A and B are shown apart, each in its own frame.
Chain A
Amino acid sequence: ACNDSTGGSESGDDDKVVIRMANQVEESNFLNQGYVKFKEYIEENSDGQVSVEIHNGGTVASSDEQIVELLNNNTIDLSTSSAYGTASTTGVKGFNLFDMPFLFQDREEFYEFIDGPYGDKLAEEVGESQNVEVLGYTDLGFYSIMNGNTAIETPEDLNGLRIRSSAATLHVETLSKLGANPTPMDYSEVFTGLQQGTIDGVSTTTPLIYGDRFYEVNKNITLTNHILLPHVLMVNKDFYNSLSDDIKQVFDEAVDVYIEESRKLAVEAEQEAVDGLIEAGVDVVELTPEQLDLFKEATETVREENVGEVGEENYEEALEFLE
């Protein structure tokens, strides 16, 4: 066998802890860059006792929904998954709350809420039914709406437009109430769909719209910011419990570093996306408070009508916090 002199993991070396992480994005994506921050911190501060393997690009986890499964049976040790993906695989409904449109004013309010008792409660619920432990929350940016026809400034402008959405009920309902025709097309078909006009537009996070180069084929984007996409950092319990106290301490530090850095990276990625879109000649519409109110009004009933998706108790808790 050939010797790997570059310092990769040697499975024969029992002393060394190898942490496997996985995501579906390419190396330069900010989500992956956050993982890299974790890797760098823990490798630098553990005297060479820990190494991190990041399997990006979907080579190990082919979809977001698979992350919890892969963590559960310890194919991977540590990774993040979207809130709605986590809801679907763990059955913890409380994660669906974040798909309710215009729930939080801004990021600060969102983090105040999720870093508080609500986030702890969700973590506890996940821990009860799964072999994973929730370590913290970060995000992948706000949702916006890109389309090919005209600038969208009011919900009327969306009338009858086919907007690609995920199949999640709250996503579909929100776009419906705005007057659009939500189209749950497979994500891999979106670029061609926009190009050929099979769909008129797409609603997803601003960094994703930029990263997947949808602006090459669609020239209008409205920063509706109607949903923030939270990502949940989770670790396999057995793996975590097997760590020695020294390493556990460095691990916990690295998690804190990751949470802080990844949140920063998301804000930067969003700004970078907006700048990049403008540079690419896209008409970027930032809604005035009055325009934004129209969108909020149009989707007001979505929340009350879909409390079942989220759980009564969870919804009440959110309203209480927001008052």
Chain B
Amino acid sequence: MTGILIMIVGILIGALLLNIPIAFALALIGFVIVFIEGSVPLSFFIQSTFGASDSFSLLAIPFFILAGEIMSTGGIAKRLVDFIQSMVKSLTGGLGLVTILTSLIFAAISGSGAATVASVGGIMIPYMISKGYSKPYAAALAASSGSLGPIIPPSIIFILYGVMASVSIGDMFIAGIIPGLLMAMSLLLVNYFVSKKEKFEVQNNEVESKKSFWSALNEAKYGLLAPVIILGGIYGGIVTPTEAAVIAVVYSFLVSVIIYKELTISQLGEVFKKASLTSGTIMIFVSAASFFGQVLSMEQIPQQIATAISNITTNEIIILLLINVFLLLVGMFIETVAAVILFVPLLLPIVLPLGVDPVHFGIVVCMNLSLGLITPPLGINLFIASKVANIRFESTFKYVGIIFIAILSVLLIVTFVPEISTFLPELLSD
């Protein structure tokens, strides 16, 4: 086994040095193993890549991406900001609070962290800066609030995890709600203390709203209804998660085009193209990496790693802690979708025999990886936010560090109190 592992890591590093996209680097490794072992024909790639693509559940991914794109282009995100702002009068760190809460709501519409930062951060970062917040803090806060994107349902990585671990995507979605809310609360706490200490204080009219509460609510009501329609549709027994994603597309399209009139036909074309590009990169990854995964599985690699680890310890707490450390490291370097596809098949055989609930484990995995969205060197949320704030992303590290510790504490609580994740799904099944 060690021989194959060394070869895998070797080819992977080589491929990344040569700047080969990681999906194809993985396919390449799969081919090399198949070629050396000679146990299956090369055409296994076609079957495997087709099998992974021909999936109704994964069809939800492009639809949620498309819905998110329409909502941020079509004026829904903007009105959510106005609405939250109209409720927050004079408070310490008031605009930070607006950023967090709006991200929380937008997370309930969009499926990814990047979409959440781009939509909410794009509006809030310049605004916070103009009201005297330090640039690094504004960027760090918007980036971290974006990490709520994949934890509050809907979530692209929950869909992927559900497919890979054979657990209900509906259960994954609902299990993310409480951990997501806890994350938001930890952000609110950090925001309060940092704003107090750094005196991002209320100058009387810091969050002076342009609109009254009622008119802002009236404007934002369609955006606020979106999560109700998506989650209500699924849990009210109307649609499957994939169909809910389609409904979200149609709904956001109607709101943006007919009600807000902020989405032109040419913009719609751009939105479709952008969503195609994002879904395409994710899905080709899924389909190429599944070949890699199946080849590893045929060579019994995940099982052997699981055995090796359980030979060291079978203590559930220690293993979960080790997995957390491992995933945090993974999250530093590897994109979330890639990380789920690569490591979930390796980790499941380790934890399932210990009696860990697969839904709970899924939440732990995804929280770890969503922390990776704000950790250097590869932290996509941090990139986007720093770009908006027009600063080097290293300058955010001071605040990111504080926020990281806060979310990490939530992650540890969620790891060792499975009920936080399993409570809602179980409540629902009764």
Binding site for B on A (CB under 8 A): 1-2, 4, 8, 11, 18, 20, 55, 58-63, 66, 69-70, 73-75, 185-186, 188-189, 191-193, 195-198, 216-217
Whether, in the assembled complex, B189 has its beta carbon less than 8 Å from a beta carbon of chain A, the answer is no
Chain A residues, CB < 8 A from B39: 11, 18, 20
Q: Are B40 and A75 in contact (CB under 8 A)?
A: yes
What is the minimal beta-carbon distance from A263 to any residue of chain B, in angstroms? 28
Q: Are B2 and A2 in contact (CB under 8 A)?
A: yes
A216 in complex: contacting residue of B40, B298, B429, CB < 8 Å: B429
Q: How many residues of B contact A (CB 8 A)?
A: 39
Whether, in the assembled complex, B257 has its beta carbon less than 8 Å from a beta carbon of chain A, the answer is no
Whether, in the assembled complex, B239 has its beta carbon less than 8 Å from a beta carbon of chain A, the answer is yes
A1 in complex: contacting residue of B2, B240, B297, CB < 8 Å: B2
Q: Can you sample 21 A-B contacts with CB below 8 Å?
A: A1-B3, A8-B300, A11-B38, A55-B297, A58-B166, A60-B294, A62-B48, A63-B51, A66-B47, A69-B47, A70-B44, A73-B41, A73-B43, A73-B47, A75-B40, A188-B166, A189-B57, A191-B168, A192-B168, A192-B169, A196-B238
**Given A11-B39, A188-B163, CB of A196 within 8 Å of CB of B47:** no
Chain B residues, CB < 8 A from A11: 37-39
**Given A11-B37, A70-B47, CB of A188 within 8 Å of CB of B56:** yes
**Given A2-B2, A186-B56, CB of A196 within 8 Å of CB of B234:** yes
What is the minimal beta-carbon distance from B355 to any residue of chain A, in angstroms? 15
Chain A residues, CB < 8 A from B3: 1-2
B235 in complex: contacting residue of A8, A189, A196, CB < 8 Å: A196
Chain A residues, CB < 8 A from B240: 185-186, 189, 192-193, 198
Chain B residues, CB < 8 A from A60: 294, 297-298
CB-CB contacts below 8 Å: B237-255 with A: 237-242
CB-CB contacts below 8 Å: B24-40 with A: 37-40
Whole-angstrom CA separation of A195 from B167 in the bound complex: 14
Chain B residues, CB < 8 A from A216: 429
What is the minimal beta-carbon distance from A196 to any residue of chain B, in angstroms? 4
Q: Which 5 A-B pairs have the closest CB atoms?
A: A197-B237, A62-B51, A1-B3, A186-B56, A196-B237
Binding site for A on B (CB under 8 A): 1-4, 37-41, 43-44, 47-48, 51-52, 54, 56-57, 163, 166, 168-171, 234-242, 294, 297-298, 300, 428-429
Whole-angstrom CA separation of A66 from B41 in the bound complex: 15
Q: Are B51 and A55 in contact (CB under 8 A)?
A: no
Whole-angstrom CA separation of A2 from B38 in the bound complex: 20
Q: Are A192 and B170 in contact (CB under 8 A)?
A: yes
Chain B residues, CB < 8 A from A188: 56-57, 163, 166
Chain B residues, CB < 8 A from A185: 240
A74 in complex: contacting residue of B41, B169, B239, B241, CB < 8 Å: B41
Q: Are A1 and B242 in contact (CB under 8 A)?
A: no
A75 in complex: contacting residue of B41, B52, B170, B234, CB < 8 Å: B41
**Given A75-B40, A75-B47, CB of A196 within 8 Å of CB of B236:** yes
Q: Are A2 and B56 in contact (CB under 8 A)?
A: no
Whole-angstrom CA separation of A243 from B365 in the bound complex: 46
Q: A185-B240, A192-B241, A195-B429 are in contact. List 7 more A-B contacts (CB 8 A).
A: A55-B298, A59-B294, A62-B48, A189-B57, A189-B241, A193-B240, A196-B234
